[in-house]
Structure 1
Amino acid sequence: MSRGGSLPLLRDRGDGARAHRHGGARAEQSADRRRGGVRGRCDLPGRALVAAGAAAATAMRRAERVGVPFGGHSFPYAPGVLRLSGDPEAVDQRVLEHYRLWKSHFVRPRGDGSCAVYAPDAAYPYVAEAQGYGMVISALMAGADPEARDVFDGILRYVLAHPSSGHPDLHAAQQDGAGRDVGGANSATDGDLDIAYGLLLADRQWGGGYRASALRRIDALRETELPAAGGPIKLGDWSSGHFDEVSRTSDWMPGHFRAFRDVTGDLRWGEALDTHLSLVRALQRQYAPDTGLLPDFVVDAGSDPKPAPGRVLESEHDGDHHWNACRDPWRIGADAVVSGDARARAAAGRMGRWMCAATNGDPGRIRCGYRLDGAAYGEGASGAFVAPFGVAAMAGGGGQEWLDALWEWMAASPPEPDRYYAASVQLQAMLVVSHNWWPP
């Protein structure tokens, strides 16, 4: 189905994977790419990841001299945030093991000095969301993986080679196996939010020209995807007509908005932060007072926000807590543990406490899909649904025993090669839970 920029309607495959929706333009000039800090080639998986233990990780941290090395735990989380009961070095080692598998399964060289995160369970093998995840993950793993900057720069090279047709500083959100833009070559908000955030992390880690590239992308996001009159962020630079009033709750990333506000001094990002946290609270109170769960999509977003009444973009579950909104406890919870914002903490805590009670403290009973009233309809369990509640637990969503149980489930659930989405969400949740997440 075409809709003037033309993102295809996507379908949940019904097998625990999630079909994606995306679509993006004019090439950025080679000078821009140089300013973006791209260097070298992405020869992966050429050199093995050296992560044989805490001593090896410490040695690599010394050698690479990054700004915030993985395992340093130097950024203090907000007061009152729960910590895992286990040994921090053992926890870090488990994250390294998951990262090694994630990298071997999904980071693929493209033959032109670039690499990209492969998404076998998405609508197309290369999607913007995956590249954003890859940039954030590789920047956070610096100091433990000597190839982290090569991975980051290889993905950035790929992103710059596929600009959106809607704005040259955004990313075309879908490519086929041959690397051709498909689905209208438009942007997807979540992908560009993470790409910009990843660039800010890279600037903190390695310096160079990453910051200038991040600022251009942040400006493009504000220009095309933040409504001038307020209201939640749009689906992409293609949103217009009916879709101008649709927003995806998993694009409501308060930690990103907070970072963009602080880096740019642009008050629009501060307004976006307040708008989205207020919307979360209102939706929870009106539509999920018992569970706190959020829907995948919100309609009438600028006037009378409410859960989608059925299919508006992806499936009949667009108004349920489905394969998009499953990320919300992680996104909101990460901001809560880093910033200490009482609004984020209350929202994440509400979701987490309900899930702990609904499963009687057993993470294996979390299902892949819920009505907002808590009725489960999905199968389970998947890291995409389970792991985000570990972040929510840190923010007051269920207590110490629940947090430790969620971690044990994650630690015992390695990435599967055909489940990029679950593996990527789980790994990022593990980075938060292990105290290896920090603002740029």
Structure 2
Amino acid sequence: MKMKFKVLLLSGLCLSLLPVGAAMAAGEAKPFPQHTTYTAGTIKPSNVTQTTMDNAVKSKWTTWKTNYLKPAGTGKYYVKYNSAGETVSEAHGYGMLLAVMMAGADVSAQTYFDGLYRYFREHPSAINANLMAWKQNSSFQNIEGEDSATDGDMDIAYSLLLAHRQWGSAGAINYLAEAKKVINAIMQSDVNQTRWTLRLGDWATSGNWGSATRPSDFMLNHMKAFKAATGDAKWDNVTNQTYAIINSIFANNSSTTGLMPDFVIYQNNAFVPAPANFLESGNDGSYYYNSCRTPWRIATDYLISGDNRALNQLNKLNSWIKTKTSNNANNIMDGYTLSGTTVGGYNSGAFYAPFGVSAMTSSANQSWLNSIWTKTAGSASEGYYEDSIKLFSMLVMSSNWWTY
């Protein structure tokens, strides 16, 4: 393996040679801002400077951590996701990802990250102890079942990989070893290895639950990192099947919109939108409060890797939403059927911000992207879920997302 080195100079004297990314006094190997170079031909907002975008992300992070990142006893942190002081593993994964990505801009980032890690380890799933129990109350007790949710598990694993790149694994926590434990547990318990689909969680192993999957869990960039870190080629099966499901739903159920449903089931030898009230609401087969994240999750893999297997779906999605809203981001509503009928009535940041990420795929969307950036950066706080999705979308839009 070829190794690059940094030369440290003081008063003209060479003090040491360190591998790039080795632990240094400042601590971060990949400090914010990253200014990642995305796939050729993609775009970012052009109506503001890079510095303005970086500062907007830092401002949103400061507000986010003030509102939602809370102590959970000595040396531990959790993410307060509602007014009752409860949390879920989804929120925990968000907190860990944000902490590692904001390192360099926030001197306490590793303290937050390690505290979140310790909380995660104190709340294992009863089914697979390397996954996280999905929900706790304000007393940090597991509630509503001690089992996992796939999205939280995946973000926690991915954040640990980034922590290895950010701080190295020679400190108090071996981030890489811990990441591999979670990744292997996801493959064991969160993946249906008959169909190579992501389960809803480690509990969803039989009946309709066993064949169901959730497009907001389609973190393709994560899956590729999981394979790179572990060498487990089974992740290729999951990645390939995930892209196949996206394109099957697009071809058969949303060819005029490119929208993904909240849940997908396997029925009559095909993957189809779930029926109403399958798990959460009457909109389980529509583009609703789960799948609103798909323009961010799916487009990010194209921006980072150039994998164009969902590009036709993303292009249709972009053209449809611009037409639907008359190119006005204020007209984006919180819910649509897959054919494009509006089912929501609120202009939620959880819905408009991710469309900024999908808009980055083509220069044809430049003015649309600019308007979504401006709206998102200038938006007031709404709540944990909306504010988290806005911050992640701004990280990507400002070219500050990076990968293992």
Q: C-alpha separation between the residues in 2 aligned to 1:64 and 1:356? A: 44
| 1:436 and 2:400 are equivalent in the alignment | yes
For the residue of structure 2 that corresponds to 1:387, the secondary structure is helix
Give aligned-pair identity as a percent.
Answer: 38
CA spacing shift, 1:397–1:296, aligned 2, 3 Å: farther
The answer for unaligned runs of 5 or more in structure 2 is 1-23
Letter in 1 for 2:86: P
How many angstroms does 1:397 deviate by?
8.5
Larger strand proportion, structure 1 or 2? 2
Q: C-alpha separation between the residues in 1 aligned to 2:326 and 2:349? A: 18
| 1:409 and 2:380 are equivalent in the alignment | no
TM-score, normalised relative to structure 2: 0.90
| 1:241 and 2:210 are equivalent in the alignment | no
CA spacing shift, 1:286–1:244, aligned 2, 3 Å: same
CA spacing shift, 1:241–1:402, aligned 2, 3 Å: same
| 1:222 and 2:187 are equivalent in the alignment | yes
TM-score, normalised relative to structure 1: 0.83
Bigger Cα Rg: 2
Q: C-alpha separation between the residues in 2 aligned to 1:195 and 1:321? A: 25
How many angstroms does 1:358 deviate by?
1.0
Tell me if the contact between 1:284 and 1:294 (Cα under 8 Å) persists in the aligned partners: yes
| Residue number in structure 1 paired with 2:297 | 331
Deviations 1:239-292 (A, max 9, x none): 122210111111111111111111111111111111101110110111001000
Letter in 2 for 1:216: K
| Residue number in structure 2 paired with 1:175 | 136
How many angstroms does 1:65 deviate by?
4.1
Q: C-alpha separation between the residues in 1 aligned to 2:205 and 2:236? A: 24
| Residue number in structure 1 paired with 2:264 | 298
| 1:422 and 2:386 are equivalent in the alignment | yes
- RMSD after superposition: 1.6
Deviations 1:191-217 (A, max 9, x none): 000000000010010012101000000
Tell me if the contact between 2:42 and 2:363 (Cα under 8 Å) persists in the aligned partners: no
Tell me if the contact between 2:356 and 2:397 (Cα under 8 Å) persists in the aligned partners: yes
Q: C-alpha separation between the residues in 2 aligned to 1:328 and 1:397? A: 20
1:359 to 317, 321, 325: 325
| Residue number in structure 2 paired with 1:150 | 111
2:273 to 296, 299, 307: 307
How many angstroms does 1:63 deviate by?
7.0
The structure, 1 or 2, with the larger RCO (C-alpha pairs under 8 Å, 6+ apart) is 1
Q: C-alpha separation between the residues in 2 aligned to 1:436 and 1:365? A: 27
Q: C-alpha separation between the residues in 1 aligned to 2:268 and 2:65? A: 39
How many angstroms does 1:383 deviate by?
1.1
CA spacing shift, 1:398–1:137, aligned 2, 3 Å: farther
| Residue number in structure 2 paired with 1:72 | 34
| Residue number in structure 2 paired with 1:133 | 94
Deviations 1:180-237 (A, max 9, x none): 0011110000000000000001001001210100000000000112112224210111
Deviations 1:92-150 (A, max 9, x none): 0011110100000000001221010110179x711000000001111000100001111
Q: Which moved more, 1:163-172 or 1:64-73?
A: 64-73
Tell me if the contact between 1:231 and 1:301 (Cα under 8 Å) persists in the aligned partners: no
Q: C-alpha separation between the residues in 2 aligned to 1:80 and 1:292? A: 21
Q: C-alpha separation between the residues in 2 aligned to 1:212 and 1:164? A: 19
| Residue number in structure 2 paired with 1:17 | none
For the residue of structure 1 that corresponds to 2:146, the secondary structure is coil
Tell me if the contact between 1:127 and 1:174 (Cα under 8 Å) persists in the aligned partners: yes
Q: C-alpha separation between the residues in 2 aligned to 1:121 and 1:318? A: 25
| Residue number in structure 2 paired with 1:278 | 244
Tell me if the contact between 2:296 and 2:357 (Cα under 8 Å) persists in the aligned partners: yes
Task: List, as ranges, runs of 4+ consecutive aligned residues in structure 1 with deviation greater than 4 Å.
Answer: none
For the residue of structure 1 that corresponds to 2:261, the secondary structure is coil
How many angstroms does 1:415 deviate by?
2.6
Tell me if the contact between 1:164 and 1:172 (Cα under 8 Å) persists in the aligned partners: yes
Q: Which moved more, 1:260-269 or 1:429-438?
A: 260-269
| Residue number in structure 2 paired with 1:251 | 217
Q: C-alpha separation between the residues in 1 aligned to 2:364 and 2:80? A: 34
1:316 to 282, 288, 298: 282
CA spacing shift, 1:317–1:67, aligned 2, 3 Å: same
| Residue number in structure 2 paired with 1:388 | 354
Aligned length in residues: 375
